[in-house]
Amino acid sequence: MKCPCCGFEESKVIDSRPADYGEKIRRRRECLKCSFRFTTYEQIETLPIVVVKKDKSRETFDRSKLINGILRACEKRPVSVDDIDKIVDKIEDRIQSSLDKEIKSSIIGEYVMEFLKGLDKVAYVRFASVYRDFSDVDNFMEELKKLLVEKK
C-alpha cells in the first residue's frame, strides 16, 4: 500500500476493525519510511449480477430498484427502512453466494415475497399482487386464503 504522503510502498497495520456492518475492514496504517498514518478499507470483490427479465431482456442488478419496489409494498406500514435494507442485503447475499452470473427476475421476486411474508403480511400481499399480476379478484382471494390457513 503506497503512502499518500511520501509514496513509499511499505506500511504496517496498526489497527484493524470491521466497518459497514462487517462488509468492509477498516485498517489504520503507518508508513515505515515517514511514519505518516492513514486509513484504508478492504472489501470483498463481487461479481456483477445480470437479471433476466420476463421478456428475456437482461439488465444489471440494481439495488435501488429492488429497494423502491419493496418500499412501495411497505408504504404506510410499520416497516422500517433498516428492515428493508436488511431484506435487500439478504437477497444480494443469496444471489452472490449462488455464483451464477445471471438470475431470473422471478427468483428475486420469490425471495422478496419470502422475506416480506415473515415481516409484514399486508406488504407481502401488496407485493404479490403486483409481482404475480393477479388477473382477477379470485386469484387475489386464493392468496389471502393461503395466508389465513398458514396463520392457524
List the chain domain ranges. Answer: 11-43, 50-151
pLDDT of residue 147: 67
- Summarised one tens digit per residue, pLDDT across range 26-51 is 999 999 999 999 999 888 777 788 99
Q: How distant, in Å, are the alpha carbons of 81, 130, 149 from that of 143?
A: 26, 13, 10
pLDDT of residue 151: 62
pLDDT of residue 135: 61
Block residue for cell numbers 431482456: 57
106 and 112 Cβ atoms separated by less than 8 Å: no
User: What stretches in the chain show pLDDT beneath 70?
Assistant: 132-137, 139-140, 143, 147-148, 150-152
pLDDT of residue 129: 77
pLDDT of residue 3: 94
Q: What does the block give as the cell for 78?
A: 410499520
